[in-house]
Structure 1
Amino acid sequence: MKFLQLVNFVVMTTTNTNGDLSNKGPQHLNFEKIGPFLKVEKDKLTVQYTGPGNQYQDVGSIRSNARLAAEGIIDYFEIRILNQGKRNTIMIGLTAENDFVSTKHPGWDSNGYGYQTDGKIFNNSKHGKAYGPSYEAGDVVGCGLDYSKKELFFTKNGKHLGVAFSNLARLRFYPTVGLHSPNERIVANFVGPFKYDLESACEERTRIIESINETSQPVYTLNTLIRDYLYYEGYTESLSSFEQDLKIESKIPNEPLMKRREICSLIERGRVEEALKSLILHFPETVQLNPVSVPFNADLVTPQNILFRIHCQTFIEIIKNGDLLTAIEWARVNLGSYMNDQTLSSTEEKLFLDTVGLLAYETAVDSPSSYLLQDDKRSELSQDVNKLILKSLKQDAHSGLERIYMQLAVCKDMLGQESVGCGDVIKLNL
């Protein structure tokens, strides 16, 4: 994660304003779970009614392949009426995740909402109530769920028809279409472009963005975050320049900072054995193993798993240099003890087997374990060694900026899980 990107993210709160309201959600119709009287065409977006349409139970309903993404202010889709059929009894709307019935219109049950061709809207009813204009062949009908207001609305040929339902429950909804008379045929559009000007409709998005931009940040807080991040990453020269520019007296011991940066730099350049020697010399507690057997945990940065990974990475670097005999001897001396180590987790055991498995191939890049040869493995190890050194110095293993980022990421995920929406106002793709 680049420093300037992270600072920009926290200070300015990067927003998505390019019209891409969702990068997930429905892509096509669910052709595997459909009503008995429907025929889905090869494009997976066009469907036709083939039944008699004489009885209530003759309805054929189909929903999208995925639920609404619930990441933006508004989720929206459109349906074009290709053929209104014999009686024009099409219903367009939403059904909750566990309430879809392939022989019922959306809106007939309590957790479904529908807008029928006669202009009526339906929720837990087979009779409906007056709402808007009727629609027929050639018309494009849209359905939008506004998470910020908990409202459902419909459009016709790009025109907003007003709020149809309000105070919607926090459910996971699927776009749904019901057909009920011979030859009715529609085509769905889940990804745009749409007849309705969706971007202009997101007034709430604009309000949120403006309120974020108008929020002032105390200079002291920002300077503290930046200074903390520079220290965390070990950017000694940048930290020194930053403190000088702001006329801040440095209270951070310079030598441990420089040694920490030096060790991480050695790992990133593939000189892992040198890094280990420096760790032992300057931060011995980071590689001192507890005499009590402690199970390895891939999610924790401990002396046990760091030392294990350093040994594996050193072996990998020797293999990358093409020194097979040295690699074999080094593995015998330093990796042999892990052969029957019962404290290894499944993740660590896989790393061990993949590491020594590099010996089985004349050319390591042809091995299934060749992913270990990538430079990002050095970076991962370097970052965790950095955290362990900081912990040994009784300091936080995460910078303040990282913690803010992680908090925002969790909040964004929670919004999506609760189907509240608004998640795309903060974009976390650094």
Structure 2
Amino acid sequence: MIFNIENSDVKVEIPALKHYSSDLLSFNINKLEVNYTGNSNPSIPACVQCSHPAKPMPDSYIYYFEVKINSINSTRPSIVIGFTDESFMLNKVIGSSRKSFGLRSDGKLIHTAVQTMDYCPKFTQNDIIGCGIAFISQKIFFTRNGILIGKAFDFTENFPMFASATLSSPQDSVLFNFVGPFGFKLDEVLADEKKVFNNQVQEEKVDCRNIFYLVKEYLEYEGYPDTLQALEEHMDLKKTEPSNSGVISECYKSLDSSCQNCETQGKICNFCTKKIIETVEAKTNIQIPEPRNHYNSISLSSLYLKNTDFLKNPSKNSSEHNTKNLKQRGILRQIIITGNIKEAIKYLTEFFPEMLNDELCMLYLTMQEFIELIKSREIYKALDFGREKLAKFRNYTVYYRKNYDIPISVSHAFGIIAYKNPHESPLAAFLTWAQLDLTADLVNNRIMMRTQRPRSCLERVFKHFLCMENLYQETSFVKIF
């Protein structure tokens, strides 16, 4: 069932006073104005609370409300304005408990009953007393008739606080304003909060090595052994033995230059690849044939991965198995990027045989092999291949990379075969190098999912960053800070 939520009315509750039956208070119909009606001697205090807890207002990180003093007992301090927690006893005076903070009408701050101090002049009729929370600097402040009095309390505990007022005299009457417009302009407090926020950011100490290890773990996960090695050598995190990767760039003598597989494919075959790795790991100087087609050949420096300190000392989130198969995943990635999908499947069969039963892994490779036939203009072969290999995946989803990864059904992707010039078709992105890189990413991810390895920490950090960015944009907080 599909729900159309665009036209549905979303009920937004406007903050008001919590209404409760009491012989001591009478509430106006708008639930914003309250009068004290008790007549006992001595009088019994009565507290009112806002229906909503204090939360940052839009476009800021501040909560603020104002109370107009309609009338007041001028002979004794009978009104207290401030904040209370949800469990506060409503027959108590604000400030009589550890989780309540108040400004009394005689101008004294009150907290935990015994702690009082002079703060401002006494309240008079028609005064507008404002009270707010600056969440970043963790302080409670008060205003009077549009003028900031200053910081009143610090708070470090994390609990919901509610705007409140205590009345205790028959002359007491107040009017709450929770949504504005307010007599006090918040610009001054916002500017102070911005300074506090910027100072906190500047004072935050970040060990740069944590950044390197985030990148390292990402490279391990995605299967980039060359880049991982280069990162370590550049950062010189630990003393390592000199790299032997330059050895494999010399001309052929140690390898059989007449290898039929290399000759047929025009690129280094799986057998020669293994021999290169074994020889270099044994630190034997070798010479290999110059690749006949540099664009389609495997990058020789990517065939060798030195046992670096990164690999000997994997990060906490890296299992020994994942670090060990990094070399194989790196080679598999390079083979896929050359477009030699048959060779990639052979390599997969040898080092990751369990992946042959992974439908999505085989789908991505099969789709890429189909695309390679299109690129080489072997249309009839591609047609037969599609009928034989891709038909069973027709209801599956694949992706093509065009600035970002776009999902498309296999049946729709197969339509690329109908274009006379597929490079100018809407599906031309399938024919780019970026698509090969995407296929390598998808296959590597399937391998990592098989090992039940969680996504890299760097990816999670980036997702958190995007979520925070979206959150700030939604609340317009970014406009302030």
With structure 2 as the length reference, what TM-score do the two structures score?
A: 0.43
- Which structure is higher in RCO with an 8 Å CA cutoff and minimum separation 6? 1
With structure 1 as the length reference, what TM-score do the two structures score?
A: 0.47
